[in-house]
Structure 1
Amino acid sequence: MARLLTVVCLFVLSCCVSGRSIYKNSGQKFDEKNKDHWNIQAQWFLSTKVAMPLNTKRAKNVIMFLGDGMSITTLAATRVYLGQRYGHLGEELKLSFEAFPYTGLAKTYCVDHNVADSACSGTAYLAGVKANSGTVGLSAAVKRGDCKTQQEGIHSVTGLMDWAQKAGKGTGIVTTTRVTHASPAAAYAHSADRKWEADSDLPKKGTHCDDIAMQLVRGRVGSHIDVVLGGGRRNFFPKTQRDMEGYRGYRSDGYDLIREWLMKKEILGSSPKFVYNRQTFMNLDTERYNSVLGLFSPDHMPYHLEAGLDDPTLSEMTQKAIQILSKKKNGYFLFVEGGRIDTAHHETKARKALDETAEFAKAVEAALRLVNIEETLVVVTSDHSHTMTYSGYSKRGTDILGLTNKMNASDHLPYTTLNYANGPGHKYDVNNTRYNLIMDDFSNSNYTYPSLVPMGRETHGGEDVAVFARGPWAHLFTGNYEQNYLPHAIAYAACIGSGLTACQAKL
């Protein structure tokens, strides 16, 4: 319980730490109805901004946190969700990374679509090039599904993972989705279709393409990643074989890619270890093993609200990855994805989406406790938005996941504070009128929140996403910019890649 309270206090930084201390020093009472409350708060925030020095040191380490589908609306609702769990009103609080000193906005569209998916956006924020929807690690010269052009290789693009490896840095991927899913795949793979995660997903006729799991084990970039943690174990086992937990594999080519990964790492001179459960993972000797593949589920990892004792949390995976990579004398690049924010939104399960965002914020805080922020650049962002809205004029303290307390809809029926523009939560009553929500159980984590347009799966949104930065050259991430700017700015700070870097600028 003490640990939970500590975490919450870290999340509510402006209240538990800075806010209370300035009130104590000023002799004023923490009271939102008092005008001095707002003046003191604003003056304190201003003073911290004015006193903030620019850090222009070389970033030895870089951690990029990606909340998949983490819209600004999701952030605002998660503050309230988290705060209300611990007796606060909620709106006044901050998630861990919202206290970062520098913030910007990234434009997320694909070359061929105005609303991004996780593949084209992943190629942008990891490889620095905008791409077509559904394609990973390829320029927009390649259309989705064009296996022949993928295999030609002339349109392949690499980014932060490759640049870091060439600079002698350690590299790692942590995700709550399959490690072959679109976001992590963009770090190491080149695929004309994000769905080609295993060979069983490939077209049956025509040119043969390497699937994404194969590229993780055999690819030039993928095979040199030091730490890979997440789900998706089935994509590495043949259909004729069951894994260590009894789940059947998905590959048709008969390859056991986990065994191959272990053998290849040993040939490369590493000390590799494969783990599949939390107990083995948490007891892992990080001094003995410098290359770790952790696949904790045959598919995506379970939602935090449904996870068992044998499922490591995003925070635990992040901490272990940092402990392993911190042994690299030249530093490291680590990509951490809270991927199940997105899947919960697609199902319009708002409670799960907010809880996954809270877990994501905990992972950022866990990382900050382990790194030297003077030499570590931490960037937190999202790949795209979702269609969830936050509305209704409710009074402060109203349950963010419940009904508004203003019964002012023109049909005199209640409505929820959080709604979706489209998705599976669309319902009609028997009289073809709007469904009456009054008896619905909003405490159920699988409750599908109302949506306007009926769809089997909710879509992404097209608005900009927030970027938060702290550490060396974090001030480069302010303003409004294309999403593909992010890896170029990171490379500048870390002196990696072939573009302009801070090291060149200082010569």
Structure 2
Amino acid sequence: MKKPARTKLAVAIGAFGLTLSVSAIADDHLEHNQSSVSAQVPTSAAEWFKVGEQSVWVNKRDVARLRKAKNVILFVGDGMGVSTVTAARILEGQIDGRDGEFNRLAFERFSNIAHSVTASANQQTSDSAPTATAMVAGIKANDGAISVDQSIARTEKSDDITAAKSVKTILERAEERGMSTGVVTTARFTHATPAVNYAHIADRDWEADSNLPAGATVKDIARQLLEFPYGDGLEVALGGGRSYFMRDTDADPEYPTQKGRRKDGRDLTAEWSSNYNNSDYIWNQEQFDAVNPANTDHLLGLFERSHMRYEADRKDDAAGEPSLAEMTEKAIKILQKNKKGFYLMVEGGRIDHAHHAGNAYRALTDTIAFSNAVKKAKELTNDKDTLILVTADHSHVFTIAGYPSRGNPILGKTAVDGVVAKDSLGLPYTTLSYANGPGWTGGLQRKEFNSAKESTVAASYAGDKLRPDLTAVDTENPGYMQEATVPMGSETHAGEDVTIYANGPGAYLVHGTLEQNVIYHVMADALGWKNRR
């Protein structure tokens, strides 16, 4: 006799008094993470065993029916390697007064995970341009390249040659099919990761026309957003980088002593409003709050001259800036109006910048803000028709080390049962550190900080010690720069795999170790595109 596709099996978990229905789990796609089946931290061997057993039962279900996705949301935590996820998970729990080690970020509860190989076509350890290109265009590219193939030279300034070497992105293909599209980022909108969706250029640094080399005929990145040739253009574009869209004769509305970067006489923010019906351009929190998704079809929001503020410093912006979760919510509500579906990329761009600055606090608090954006997206969408992928473009040389006791402050000095541990020099050390970066001298001001309010706190050397003495240093200060082993002006990316987390239609394709460009093909397959090109 043939067994039914789903058998109803009640699993009683005595230690927690919880009954689970396997068929209900399959139908509702319950999250399989431990924290989704028990909010209590186990306190004995028997309870730990039961939680592990419980998690297997949650996973022991049929493969989800192969449904087509109507919508795809790609979340990219820029620089969000495994150690960053782990440390942010712990910090979030500790901030909330819970067991940090048992805590999980929103996306860690997703149904499928895989490793993503981040090497580019020409680099063992990559930058954001080719890694983001891989995800949205389905190919491997060279460092610095924005949605062009690996045969192009980084110095290529010809528009014709660039066009010939360009590779169409998932956003462009979505627009061709009548879907709505959007990109949300905390970095400049012309920065590498957001730019790969809508621009094609050999060098990621050519963000405004003033950045182009002499004799260039290729269009700068900001201009390519306004002259986007597919469909009816992006419906949502939210982030920073206002100066790259403004004339160099125009004063910035938030910083009147500073002007735009464009030398071609074009005000691209004004062009956005004139190009589209039911469109709006905004640059502060009040304007953002006033946007009604029901009657706004095209929204451009540029909230800083350069990158947006770190989450920890957002409150200090006099003009106000929306959070990543708020921008994600606004974007989804605008895009959801299209019955043909939508594609949205959301980038937590400043996780990367804080790591480059050797500042773990801002990297981790931006990761928590990124997790909150994922949570908001999941609340606003349906697992049955929306594929959500969460991943990183690359990692950083960020480590969690020593033998601190469970519950020891993740930003603090390593301690065992309250006793601060010492190294071979007799000096205390922190649990978090970097393999390289500016923290080695305890004090270079990094370009990754926007203002004096985002400054760093240094640990200085004393006497002839080989390391700073951290005894009297507050390593939990938001501006503290964790120590780095190799002295460098800016901490670097790392080359190990990052994680892909997947939920919704097509999530079952995310398993094992995948080349990063497979992410594009997962999204295209989930959308039911027979011709993925």
What amino acid maps onto 2:194 in structure 1? P
Contact in 1 for aligned 2:352/2:363 (Cα 8 Å): yes
Q: How far off is 1:223 after superposition?
A: 6.9
What amino acid maps onto 1:395 in structure 2? S
What amino acid maps onto 1:352 in structure 2? R
Contact in 2 for aligned 1:124/1:484 (Cα 8 Å): yes
Q: How far off is 1:243 after superposition?
A: 3.2
Distance in 1 (alpha carbons) for counterparts of 2:189 and 2:308: 10
Contact in 2 for aligned 1:13/1:96 (Cα 8 Å): no
Equivalent position of 1:290 in the other structure: 297
Larger CA deviation: 386-395 vs 137-146: 137-146
Distance in 2 (alpha carbons) for counterparts of 1:460 and 1:16: 31
Equivalent position of 1:503 in the other structure: none
Residue correspondence of structure 1 range 31-180 to structure 2 within 5 A: 32-51=42-61, 53-148=63-158, 151-180=161-190
Is 2:480 aligned against 1:447? Answer: yes
Q: How far off is 1:55 after superposition?
A: 3.4
SS in 2 for 1:224: coil
SS in 1 for 2:500: strand
Q: How far off is 1:93 after superposition?
A: 1.3
Q: How far off is 1:51 after superposition?
A: 2.2
Equivalent position of 2:371 in the other structure: 361
Distance in 2 (alpha carbons) for counterparts of 1:59 and 1:235: 35
1:81-112: per-residue Cα shift (whole Å, max 9, x none)? 00111222311111101000100000001111
Match of 1:350 among 347, 360, 366: 360
Equivalent position of 2:445 in the other structure: none
Match of 1:422 among 436, 458, 474: 436
Distance in 2 (alpha carbons) for counterparts of 1:497 and 1:119: 27
Distance in 2 (alpha carbons) for counterparts of 1:126 and 1:429: 49
Q: Structure 1 residues 431 and 51 mapped into 2: Cα distance closer, same or farther (>3 Å)?
A: same
What amino acid maps onto 1:251 in structure 2? R
Contact in 2 for aligned 1:215/1:222 (Cα 8 Å): no
Is 2:383 aligned against 1:373? Answer: yes
**Percent same amino acid at aligned positions?**
40
Equivalent position of 1:274 in the other structure: 281
Equivalent position of 1:496 in the other structure: 529
Q: How far off is 1:53 after superposition?
A: 4.0
What amino acid maps onto 1:57 in structure 2? R
Larger CA deviation: 187-196 vs 34-43: 34-43
Equivalent position of 2:222 in the other structure: 213
What amino acid maps onto 2:380 in structure 1? L
Larger CA deviation: 64-73 vs 212-221: 212-221
SS in 1 for 2:294: coil
TM-score, with length taken from structure 2:
0.86
Match of 2:241 among 220, 228, 232: 232
Structure 1 regions of 5+ residues with no counterpart?
Answer: 1-11, 21-29, 501-507
Contact in 2 for aligned 1:232/1:295 (Cα 8 Å): yes
SS in 2 for 1:103: strand
Equivalent position of 1:483 in the other structure: 516
Q: How far off is 1:56 after superposition?
A: 1.1
1:3-39: per-residue Cα shift (whole Å, max 9, x none)? xxxxxxxxx995765214xxxxxxxxx5634122112
Structure 2 regions of 5+ residues with no counterpart?
Answer: 1-30, 442-460
Match of 1:433 among 466, 471, 476: 466
Q: How far off is 1:208 after superposition?
A: 2.7
What amino acid maps onto 1:447 in structure 2? Y
Larger CA deviation: 235-244 vs 311-320: 235-244
Match of 1:251 among 255, 259, 262: 262
Q: How far off is 1:435 after superposition?
A: 1.5
1:471-507: per-residue Cα shift (whole Å, max 9, x none)? 001010111011001011110010237339xxxxxxx
Equivalent position of 1:413 in the other structure: 427
SS in 2 for 1:481: strand
Match of 1:463 among 484, 489, 496: 496
Larger CA deviation: 423-432 vs 107-116: 423-432
* CA-atom RMSD in angstroms: 1.8
Distance in 1 (alpha carbons) for counterparts of 2:67 and 2:330: 26
Contact in 2 for aligned 1:14/1:93 (Cα 8 Å): no
Q: Structure 1 residues 312 and 252 mapped into 2: Cα distance closer, same or farther (>3 Å)?
A: same
What amino acid maps onto 2:269 in structure 1? I
SS in 2 for 1:254: coil
Distance in 2 (alpha carbons) for counterparts of 1:207 and 1:322: 37
Q: How far off is 1:432 after superposition?
A: 5.3
Q: Structure 1 residues 416 and 358 mapped into 2: Cα distance closer, same or farther (>3 Å)?
A: same
Q: How far off is 1:221 after superposition?
A: 4.4
TM-score, with length taken from structure 1:
0.90
Larger CA deviation: 361-370 vs 240-249: 240-249
What amino acid maps onto 1:262 in structure 2? S
Larger CA deviation: 148-157 vs 100-109: 148-157
Equivalent position of 2:17 in the other structure: none
Q: How far off is 1:444 after superposition?
A: 2.3
Equivalent position of 1:185 in the other structure: 195
1:302-337: per-residue Cα shift (whole Å, max 9, x none)? 011111371100000000000000000100000000
